[in-house]
Structure 1
Amino acid sequence: MLKKSPLLVALSAALPMTTVFAQSTEAPVLQSVTVTAQRRTENIKEVPVSVSILNVEKLDVLNSSGQDIRVLAGKVPSLNIESSNGRVFPRFYIRGYGNTDFNAFASQPVSLIYDDVVQENPILKGYPMFDLAGVEVLRGPQGTLFGRNTPAGVVKFDSAKPKLGKTEGYANASWATFNTTNLEAAANVPLSSEWALRASMLRQHRDNWVNNTFTHENDALEGYNEHAERVQMLYQPNAQFNALFNVHQRTTTGSARLFRANIIQKGSNELVPGFDEENISTNGRNYQHLKTNGANLRLSYDLGEYKLYSITGWEHVIDYYSRGDIDGGYVGGPGFVPFQVESAAGMPNLGQLSQEFRVESKQSGPLNWQAGLYYFDEDGTASTNAYNSDTGGQTTHLQSNQKNKAWAVFGSVNYNVSEALTVRGGLRYTNDKKDFRTTERVNVVQTGPDSVSTSASKVNWDLSATWRLNPNVNAFGRIATGFRAPSIAAASASVPITVADSETIVSYEAGVKADLFDKRARASVSLYDYQVKNQQLTVVGGNSNVTKLINAAKTDGRGVEFDFDGYLMPALRVSFGGSYNFTEIKDPSLSVNKCGQCTITDPINAAGRVEINGNPLPQAPKYSLNATAKYTWPVADGQAFVYTDWSYRSKVNFFLYEAAEFVGKPLTEGGIRVGYTWHDGNYEAAVYGRNITNQIRATGAIDFNNLTGFVNEPRIWGVQFKASF
C-alpha cells in the first residue's frame, strides 16, 4: 500500500485510469530510466528535480517529417519552443520563463547543453537532432551544476556514443508531402580493442511550396536543405581511463521565416477569411544560410574513490545570414501596409571556448560530493542591415562585436541521512563580463556611446531532499537559486545600445515520483513556486523594428506538472503529461510602446504607453497537455503497430502587452503512424502523418507596422523505412 500524503493524493487524481492498469497483470515491466540531471548517472526516481525524458522512439517519430528542434514544443510538460527566425534561431521557454529577443547576442534563461557543452548563443541552439541517446528537460533553476543563464532550466541532448567490440548501425529514410525527405544514418565501428569510431549524419530537404502572388512565382518559398555530420572517436585502453573525441558540423540553406501581412483580423485573433498558407504576396527577398562547426574532448579517469573529468568544447559560427520582408507584403497590400521594411541579421563569425574540470567522489559511505572549475570565452561579430524592397539595394548597415568571458567554481554534496532520507546541497560562484562595441556603421547615426562593458558576480545555491516512502515511491523537495548574467542589445538608428542588469530567481518545488503496478507504469507530479527579481525583458517593435532591453522589478510564477508512462494492457502503452503554468509581471512603473494597428486591452498611461503590470510573460501558455499511445499485435514473423501522439497548449501572448490581435489561439497538433516491424525489430516500414487535423494558427507576429503574423507547420503525410544492423 502507498502511504498517504497530499502529493500522493494529487498524483492519484492525475491518474484516473489506475484501476485499468492495475487489472493488466500481464503487461510488460518498464525498463528503469537513468538521467544525468545531477551530473551523475542516477535513476530518475532518485533525482530531486522535475525532469522529463524524450526517448529514442519518440524522437524518431517527431523527426520523421524533417522538422527542426521546435518540434519538441509541448511534447513534455512546461516546455515551449518558438522562433521568428525559422530553423536557425530557436527560443526556449520552461514554466513560461524565456526570452523573445531576436537579437544575435540575445541571452536566454533556458540553457541548451549538447554532449556536456553549453550552446550559449541562440544560433548554436538549433543544431539538429539525430543519432541521439535521449533528451532530458530539467525544470527550474540549474545554477549550481550547470551555471549561469539557467534560471528557467536546461534542455540536455546526449548523442549516441561509440562502443568497443561491436559493429552496429542503422539507416532511416522518409519521404513526405512537399517532397520532404529525411535521411539519418549512423555506424559504430570498433577499430581495435582500445579504439572505436561512431559516424552519423543527417540530410533534410523540402521543396519550396508557398506561391508568391506578387511576383506570380509558384513554389517560391518555404523550402530548405539541411545537412549535419558528427564523428566521434573513443579511446579506452583500460577500465580506468577513456577519451572521447567529437567533431561536428552543420550547413543549412533555404527560406527565412515567412512574415504574412495583415493575416490577423482587426479586433480579434482570428485569421482573416480565406487565409491560405500556400500563398503569400511579398516584394521582399527571403533567404537564409548558416554554417557552423565544432569539436569537443571529454576525458575521464577513475581513481577508485574519485573520478576526474575534463570537458573541452569549441563551437564556431562560420557564417550566418537571414533576410526577410518584415512588413510581410508591399505598399498597397495585402491589406494596409503603410511603409516597407526589409531587413537582415548576420553573424560572419563567432567562436566559443569552454573548459570544465570536475572531480566526483565514489565513497561507499553516506557522504559523496563533486566539485569543479569552469571557464567560458566567447567572441562574436553580428550585423543588422536594411534594404529597399523595390530595388533590393542595401540602405543601412550596423555591425557590432561582443566579447564574453566567465568563470566559476562549484561544488555539491550528497548525504544519506538514513536508508530513507538523502539530502543534497550545492554552491556555485560565477563571474561574468561582457565588452560590447559598434564596429561599423553605414547610413546610421547611432545615439549614445559606441561601446559598453558590464560585469556581475553571483553566488547560487540549492538544497534538496529525497525521502523514500517505500521501495516504489519517493517524495522530494527542493529550494534553488539561479541567475542570468547581464545582457546587451545592439543599437539601431533610433535606440542606443541597451543593457539589462542581471536577474535572479528563487524557486521552491516539491513532488512525488513512483513506480506503479509492479513497475508496469511510472508517474511523477511536482508543484513549484518561483520569483524572479530584476527580470530581463525584451521590448520588440511597438512602433519601430527594434529591440530594447528592460528590467522588471519582479515576476511571479507557480504551477503543477505531471508525467505518466505505462501499459494499459500488454499490447497497449500510453503516456500523458500536462502542466499549469501561471506567470505575472509585477512592476507598476513599467510601460512599453504600443503597436501600430492593433486593439490594446491593457491600460494606457498619460504618455501614450502601455502598462504591462499584471500581464503574463510572452509565449507562456497557462495549460499544456501531451499524450501518446502505441498498440501492437503480432502479424506473421513480426509486429504491426499503430502509434499516435498529441500536444495541446492554451492561448499565449505574443508580446509584453496584451492586444486582441496578438493573443495566439490555443493550438492542438496530432500525429499518426501505422507500421510493421520484423526480423527482431531490425526493420520497420511505416506511413505517418503530422498535424493531421491541419490546424493552422498564428504562432507569432510583427507588431509595429500592421497585423503581420507567421504560422505553424501544415499537415504532412509520409512514408518511412528503417534498417538496423
Structure 2
Amino acid sequence: MTKTISGRTAAFAAVVPILLAGTAGIANAQENTEAAPADTEIVITATKRAERLQDVPISVSAIGGDQLSKSRVTNADELVTKVANLQLTSIVGDNTPIFALRGVSMSDYSLNQSSPVATYYDEVYKGNFAFLGVAMYDLERVEVLRGPQGTLYGKNTTGGAVNLISRAPELGETSGYLNLGYGNYNRMDASGAINVPMGDKAAARVAFTFARADGWFKNQLPGEPDLAGVREYAVRASVLLEPTDGARFILRGSTSYQNPRNYGIYAQPAETVRPGLSKREIEANVTERRQARTYSLALTGNIDVSDTLTVTSITSWDKGKLFFYEDTDGTASELLEIPYYDKANQFAQDLRLTSNTGGPFDFILGAHFQPRESVQPYHV
C-alpha cells in the first residue's frame, strides 16, 4: 500500500501594524464549543441573515479570523483541528478536501464529483475542486454547519456546509497589517491587507498571502529535487459601495496559484519497497510540480426595499485548473504513475428576498441559478 505523508515547518511570525483602528460591522465569531465572556455577542450569517449565535436553531461552529490567524490555520484542510466532528480526506493533496460531518461524506474520488458537505466562499458555492485554491487568508470568520441544509445553500448539502467569509472593506478607515515569518527548510511566509476609503460612500481592501519552502522529503536520486515543498500565493481585491442608505454593494475579485514540488509517497512495507531509506528519504523519479490556478469574481448586493424587506443578489464567476502527477510507489521504478487534470468554469446567480419584522414570523424567499459546469477532468 502507499500513503502520502506531510511535514510541517516551524516559523516565527512578526506582525507589523500599519495603522490601528476600530473594527465595525459583524463581530468576529468564536468556536461555539469554547466559553465566551458573558458580554460577548457572536453574530453569524449561517441562516442567510445576521443573527446571534445563541439564537440560531441549528448546529453550527463559528471561528473568528483572528483566532485562525493566531492558530496558523492557512488552508481549509486544517479546519479539522478546530471544528468538532469535521473530518476530511483528500484527492490530490492540499486544498482539495472531501469534508465529512456526522459521518456523511462520499467515497467517489473522481475530480468531477461534488461533496455532500459543500464549501462556500462569501456565499458563493464552489462546486469543483479546481475552484478551491488558496483561500484561508484575511478572513472575517469561518462557519461550519452540520446536517442537511435544505434549499438555503443552493444544492442538496446533506452533510453540511463550510462557509469561508472574507473581511469586507470598511468606510472611512485607513488601516492594514503585515505578517512576516521565517522557519526551517527556508520557509518564508508573508500575508497582509490594506483598507483605503474612497470618499464617504466607498472603500477598497486588498489582501494577499505568500508562502515558499524547500522540500523536506529528501530525494536520494542524483540530480533530482527534494519533494513536498511549498510555493503559493493569492491576492484578493474588494470594493465596497454604499450609494444611498439601505443599499450596499461589494465587488470581489481574487486569484491564486500553487506550484510546489510534488508530494512524496511513503510506500509500505518499507523494508521490502524502500530498502535503505529513512522515513524522510525517497527515491522518486516523478518530480513534476503540482499546479493549481484559480480566478474568481463576485458581486454581492443588498438593497432595503422597505424597513422590513431586503433584496440580496449574488452574481459570481469562477475558473480553475488543477494538475497533479502522482507517483504511487515512491521508488525509482516506473510501476504506476497517475496524472490528474481538472479544468472547470462556473457561473451562478443567487437572488433572495428576506424579511426582518422582529416578530415571531420571518421568511426568506429565494432562487438559485447555476447552469451545468464546464468541467474537463482527467485521470487514469
TM-score normalised by the chain length of structure 2 = 0.84
**Per-residue deviation, residues 515-543 of structure 1 (Å, max 9, x unmatched):** xxxxxxxxxxxxxxxxxxxxxxxxxxxxx
1:681 alignment partner in structure 2: none
The Cα of 1:226 is off from its aligned counterpart by 0.7
1:341 alignment partner in structure 2: 336
1:248 alignment partner in structure 2: 254
2:264 alignment partner in structure 1: 258
CA contact (8 A) 2:224 2:287 kept: no
The Cα of 1:354 is off from its aligned counterpart by 0.6
CA contact (8 A) 1:211 1:217 kept: no
The Cα of 1:316 is off from its aligned counterpart by 0.5
- Overall identity of the aligned pairs, in %: 29
2:320 pairs with 1:306 = no
2:181 pairs with 1:187 = no
In structure 2, what is the Cα distance between the partners aligned to 1:305 and 1:55?
A: 29
Amino acid at match of 2:335: Q
2:78 alignment partner in structure 1: 71
**One of 42, 52, 58 as aligned partner of 1:49:** 58
The Cα of 1:265 is off from its aligned counterpart by 8.1
CA contact (8 A) 2:76 2:95 kept: no
Amino acid at match of 2:102: R
In structure 1, what is the Cα distance between the partners aligned to 2:308 and 2:219?
A: 66
CA contact (8 A) 1:85 1:256 kept: no
Q: What are the residue-to-residue correspondences of 1:348-363 with 2, within 5 Å? A: 349-363=343-357
Q: What are the residue-to-residue correspondences of 1:22-33 with 2, within 5 Å? A: 29=38, 31-33=40-42
Distance 1:371 1:273, change over 3 A: farther
How many aligned positions are there?
Answer: 345
Residue aligned with 1:58, SS: helix
2:5 alignment partner in structure 1: none
2:205 pairs with 1:211 = no
2:372 pairs with 1:369 = no
The Cα of 1:84 is off from its aligned counterpart by 4.1
In structure 2, what is the Cα distance between the partners aligned to 1:52 and 1:98?
A: 18
CA contact (8 A) 1:35 1:43 kept: yes
**Per-residue deviation, residues 261-296 of structure 1 (Å, max 9, x unmatched):** 225689xxxxx9997442112223432111110100
CA contact (8 A) 1:112 1:156 kept: yes
> Over the residues paired in the alignment, what is the CA RMSD in angstroms?
2.5
Q: What are the residue-to-residue correspondences of 1:135-146 with 2, within 5 Å? A: 135-146=142-153
In structure 2, what is the Cα distance between the partners aligned to 1:34 and 1:58?
A: 15
CA contact (8 A) 1:356 1:375 kept: yes
2:14 alignment partner in structure 1: none
Distance 1:75 1:83, change over 3 A: same
Single out whichever of 254-263 and 374-383 deviates more from structure 2: 254-263
1:688 alignment partner in structure 2: none
2:108 alignment partner in structure 1: 101
1:280 alignment partner in structure 2: 282
Amino acid at match of 1:117: V
Residue aligned with 2:71, SS: helix
**Per-residue deviation, residues 120-162 of structure 1 (Å, max 9, x unmatched):** 1023234320000000110011123113241110000100001
Distance 1:217 1:98, change over 3 A: farther
CA contact (8 A) 2:133 2:292 kept: no
In structure 2, what is the Cα distance between the partners aligned to 1:181 and 1:62?
A: 17
CA contact (8 A) 1:252 1:289 kept: yes
**One of 62, 69, 72 as aligned partner of 1:60:** 69
Residue aligned with 2:94, SS: helix
Amino acid at match of 2:121: Y
Q: What are the residue-to-residue correspondences of 1:83-94 with 2, within 5 Å? A: 83-94=90-101
Amino acid at match of 1:177: N
Q: What are the residue-to-residue correspondences of 1:158-177 with 2, within 5 Å? A: 158-177=165-184
Q: What are the residue-to-residue correspondences of 1:508-587 with 2, within 5 Å? A: none
CA contact (8 A) 2:188 2:212 kept: yes
Amino acid at match of 1:248: S
CA contact (8 A) 1:34 1:41 kept: yes
CA contact (8 A) 2:260 2:291 kept: yes
CA contact (8 A) 2:313 2:352 kept: yes
For the pair shown, the structure with the greater C-alpha radius of gyration is: 1
CA contact (8 A) 2:194 2:205 kept: yes
Amino acid at match of 2:250: L
**Per-residue deviation, residues 614-659 of structure 1 (Å, max 9, x unmatched):** xxxxxxxxxxxxxxxxxxxxxxxxxxxxxxxxxxxxxxxxxxxxxx
CA contact (8 A) 2:323 2:341 kept: yes
Distance 1:47 1:211, change over 3 A: same
In structure 1, what is the Cα distance between the partners aligned to 2:154 and 2:336?
A: 39
In structure 1, what is the Cα distance between the partners aligned to 2:65 and 2:95?
A: 23
**Per-residue deviation, residues 191-245 of structure 1 (Å, max 9, x unmatched):** 11111001101111111222112x1357611112111011000110222111110
1:687 alignment partner in structure 2: none
Amino acid at match of 1:279: E
Residue aligned with 1:254, SS: coil
Amino acid at match of 1:346: Y
Amino acid at match of 2:60: V
**Per-residue deviation, residues 472-515 of structure 1 (Å, max 9, x unmatched):** xxxxxxxxxxxxxxxxxxxx6xxxxxxxxxxxxxxxxxxxxxxx
Amino acid at match of 2:68: L
**Per-residue deviation, residues 311-345 of structure 1 (Å, max 9, x unmatched):** 0111101x3211121222244xxxxxxx7011211
2:318 pairs with 1:315 = yes
In structure 2, what is the Cα distance between the partners aligned to 1:202 and 1:364?
A: 41
Amino acid at match of 1:78: N
Residue aligned with 1:234, SS: strand
**One of 178, 196, 220 as aligned partner of 2:203:** 196
Single out whichever of 30-39 and 246-255 deviates more from structure 2: 30-39
Residue aligned with 2:335, SS: coil
In structure 2, what is the Cα distance between the partners aligned to 1:255 and 1:94?
A: 31
The Cα of 1:179 is off from its aligned counterpart by 1.5
CA contact (8 A) 1:198 1:231 kept: yes
Structure 1 runs not aligned, ≥5 long: 1-14, 16-20, 22-26, 267-271, 332-338, 385-491, 493-725
Q: Which has the higher strand share?
A: 1
Amino acid at match of 1:261: A
**Per-residue deviation, residues 670-718 of structure 1 (Å, max 9, x unmatched):** xxxxxxxxxxxxxxxxxxxxxxxxxxxxxxxxxxxxxxxxxxxxxxxxx
In structure 2, what is the Cα distance between the partners aligned to 1:143 and 1:255?
A: 40
The Cα of 1:78 is off from its aligned counterpart by 0.4
CA contact (8 A) 1:354 1:376 kept: yes
Distance 1:166 1:305, change over 3 A: same
CA contact (8 A) 2:133 2:293 kept: no
Residue aligned with 1:358, SS: strand
1:381 alignment partner in structure 2: 376
**Per-residue deviation, residues 374-410 of structure 1 (Å, max 9, x unmatched):** 01121121223xxxxxxxxxxxxxxxxxxxxxxxxxx
In structure 2, what is the Cα distance between the partners aligned to 1:276 and 1:30?
A: 53
TM-score normalised by the chain length of structure 1 = 0.45
**Per-residue deviation, residues 436-494 of structure 1 (Å, max 9, x unmatched):** xxxxxxxxxxxxxxxxxxxxxxxxxxxxxxxxxxxxxxxxxxxxxxxxxxxxxxxx6xx
Residue aligned with 2:209, SS: strand
**Per-residue deviation, residues 153-194 of structure 1 (Å, max 9, x unmatched):** 000010000111111111111111212222111011001111
Distance 1:263 1:205, change over 3 A: farther
1:671 alignment partner in structure 2: none
In structure 1, what is the Cα distance between the partners aligned to 2:39 and 2:229?
A: 41
In structure 1, what is the Cα distance between the partners aligned to 2:368 and 2:341?
A: 29
